[in-house]
Amino acid sequence: MTPRIWKVLALALALLAAALFGALITTHRSVVGQMGPAAGPTTRTSAPDTFAPVIERVAPAVVSIYAEGAPSPPILVVPDLPFFQPEFIPPTRRMSSGSGFFISADGYVLTNHHVVEGAERVEVVLHNERRLKARLIGSDPATDLAVLKVSGGRFSYVDLQRAGAPKVGDWVIAIGNPFGLGATATAGIVSAYGRDLGSAFVDYVQIDAPINRGNSGGPSFDTQGRLVGVNTAILSPSGGNVGIGFAIPAETARSVSGRLIARRPIERGYMGAALQDISADAAGALGLPEARGALVASVTPGGPAAVAGLKPGDAILKVDGRDAENAEAVTRAVTRKRPGDTI
C-alpha cells in the first residue's frame, strides 16, 4: 500500500475507535441513569446548609445546671514519722455542673440523676443568663433521670410528645453546658440504637455529635427540633470526647419524667428468675443452632416465672415475639412491662 492509503486507513480506524468509545460512554451513562430511579425515591443525605433555624428554636429551652453538695467530712492525716503532728484537712463542698432542659412551660426541668445526686443546692442558668434556684422533684437512679422545678414565669420547653426517631446515619444536634462554657451546640449523626451499657432499664442511643463533661442531662435533637434523647455518657479512655456518646431515648425520658412529676412510683416488671447468656456449649447441649437468648439458671418459688411454668435449664429465645439476643435483652424487655401485664 502507498503511504497515502496507510494514512486514510489510520484516519478511518481512529474515527471508528472514537465512535466506539463515544458509544460506550453513552451506553454507560444510560445504564447509570436507569439504575438511579429503580432504587426508589431519593432523600437528601448531605449536610444541611445550616443548623441555625433548629438551634434558634430549641436552644431557649436548654439550661445549665450547677449543683452544690454536702461538705465532705474532714480527713485526719497521721504522718508515719513520729515528730510530725497529725493534720486535719478541712471539709470541702462538692460542686458539679451539667445540663438540662425544660419539659413544661411552668418550669419542670429534666436532667440526669448523677448531675444532682446528693445536692443541697441547685441553680439553673437559662439561655439568657438568668439564674434561678431549683428544687428536686424526684429522681430515678436506675435510668439516671431526675426532674427539677423552678419558678419565675413561663418558659420555652421541649415537647416530649413529639419525639424524633432518626435513622442510623441521620443528623443529630446536641446542646448543653460542656466544661461550664454555657449553651454549646454540636452536630453529628446517630451511630446506633439499642446500645447496652450494663443497664437493665435503658437501651441507649449512640451518637457521634461531640459531648463532653457538663453535657450530661442535656438534650439531643433531630433536624426537625424533636427530642432524640438525653445525653448521659461518653466512651473515652481520656475523659474527653472521642466521638462516642450515649443518650437515654426520648420515650424512656417521657415515661420516667411523667411518673416523677406525678409523684408516682417507678414500677417495673419482675419475672422472678435468674438468667444467664447462652454459651456455645449450652447452645449445643440444647440443640440450638446458635448461641443466642437467655438460659434460666434459677426460679424464685411463687414468682411470676414459676407460676408460668419456667424451670431451670429452659431457654428463652423470644419475648413477645421478638428475638432476645441475650439475658440482658430479656431483662430489659421484662422491666419495661408494668406489674400485672402478661408477656
Write the CB contacts of 238 (distance below 8 Å, at least 6 apart in sequence). Answer: none
Per DSSP, the three-state class of 38 is helix
* H-only helix segments in the chain: 3-38, 52-58, 113-116, 250-261, 280-286, 304-308, 327-335
All three cell numbers of 238, joined, read: 481520656
Q: What tens digit of pLDDT does each residue of 116-145 get?
A: 999 999 999 999 999 999 999 999 999 999
In sign, the C-alpha dihedral spanning 106, 111, 117, 118 is: negative
Q: How many residues does the structure list for the chain? A: 343
Q: What is the pTM of this model?
A: 0.71
Place 86 in a pLDDT band, splitting at 50, 70 and 90.
Answer: low
Q: What is the rounded CA–CA span in Å between residue 66 and residue 134? A: 10
Question: Rounded CA gap, 287 and 209, in Å?
Answer: 44
Flag whether pLDDT at 256 surpasses 80. yes
pLDDT above 70 as % of the chain: 78
**Grid coordinates of 306:** 414459676
Indicate which residues carry an active-site annotation.
114, 144, 216
Which range scores top for mean pLDDT: 4-8, 111-115, 264-268? 111-115
* Per-residue pLDDT, 81: 54
Q: Residue 94 CB: number of other CB atoms within 10 A?
A: 15
Name the pLDDT band for 196 (thresholds 50, 70, 90).
confident
